Amino acid sequence: MSQLLARGGRRLEGEVAVQGAKNSVLPILAATLLTEDRVELRGCPRLRDVDASIRILKSLGCEARWEGDSLLVDTAGLKSWSISDILMREMRSSAIFLGAILARCCQADLSYPGGCELGPRPIDLHLAGLRGMGAEIRECGGALLCRASRLLGRDLVLSLPSVGATENLMLAACGAEGTTTIANAAREPEIVDLQSFLNACGGRVSGAGTSTISVEGGRPLHGCSYRIMPDRVVAATYLCAAAAAGGSVYLRNAREEHLSAVTAVLREAGCGIRPDAEGIACCCTGRLRAVRPVRTAPYPGFPTDAQAILMGALLRSQGATVFEETIFENRYRHVDEFVRMGANIRTAGRVAVVTGVERLQGAPVRCTDLRGGAALCVVALAAEGETEISEISHIDRGYEDIARDLRALGADISRRDP
């Protein structure tokens, strides 16, 4: 089993480029099914979840291959509308293929998706929206059997701004007759990126980044060459690593407009954050200060994906910080691993109180999920001695090579494969 070995106590100094966004490329890979053509995705990160999406595309009859940091996808040979249970269980985001397959094939058979165990993440909003557009969906033994002789544009209202449901309905709407509006849509930058990709393929989508998205369906889509946006959670991870260990780093490609909720907290904690046209510089000296309560919320609020990572950075802060997790029920699974390293954290339901300590000590710890695993890397760089991080396959789902990137910033961290 692969492990990461990290020795803390080094200030970080250096520069690294931020990889393409995991949460952007996955729905875009599903969107390639709408084109019946070849697509080049530039700056595509090589991740476990991307590999899982490629396997899904190939199982449907499509072709995909790498050329450097570009992924070339050709969906002209699509011959199936069914995704096996094994492939669906590999990641939660596999549900995003439903809308695209249904739009292109008028039918789709798949099972409920898998992914990190962060608590219930139902796809009922996805299904309700598709049914509103005319799809007939039967749930049978954990499988979803979907049929639609045609999809019709509709005015859809989401009961909450679900990112996955917004994306799935955007894809389905591209193949529907007429115009679809999605009200109370999620506003994340990755949804803006999906809109930009669809429009680059000849679609007519507007409103992404606001709470109402409009999709004019029935337009034939073609292939294109498209660059994936930088990953804002990866950028937040490396900013928090510098905050935890101290130092001065520069993140090329990072965009503060995507990270303002995170950078605002880091500034409050005592970090110097200076964005420019090419990226973000971060300088941190001395112990951080505790900050006002951090409450996760849909974008533009504080991202749930950065909650564990920021918590890791604040373990040695002066004072106490309250975290409130409002998105997922089980997103404090990393806390026990932090405590093994000397952290002082009390949890009650969705609330965690972090009281800063003088010292953290390296220890054998394990990843509990993707972002919790990345947070352990942040903590390890602030701890004394060596930390051995196991079950890092979780980290591989969202970070192309976290050890490589942190070493570029001066960290003492390496990967040990069996």
Q: Pick the closest to residue 132 from 166, 185, 169, 174 (CA basis).
A: 169
User: Which residues are 108's β-sheet partners?
Assistant: 146
**What are the phi and psi torsion angles at 353 (to 5°)?**
-115, 120
For residues 92 and 113, is the Cβ–Cβ distance under 8 A? yes
Alpha-carbon span 90 to 101, nearest angstrom: 18
Residue 39: strand, helix, or coil = strand
Q: Which helix (H) or strand (E) holds 240?
A: helix 232-245
CA torsion through residues 69, 254, 12, 381, sign = negative
Identity of residue 123? I
**Chain centre to alpha carbon of residue 163:** 11
For residues 102 and 96, is the Cβ–Cβ distance under 8 A? no
Contacts of 59 (CB under 8 A, 6+ apart): 80, 83, 84, 87
Residue 354: strand, helix, or coil = strand
Q: Which of 116, 174, 240, 282 is catalytic?
A: 116
**Tokens describing residue 306:** 């950065």
Identity of residue 400? E
**What are the phi and psi torsion angles at 187 (to 5°)?**
-115, 10
106 counts as catalytic: no
User: Which residues are 355's β-sheet partners?
Assistant: 320, 344
Beta strands in 168-259 (DSSP E): 179-183, 204-206, 212-216, 225-227, 247-252
For residue 96, the 8-state DSSP code is G
Catalytic residue positions, numbered: 116
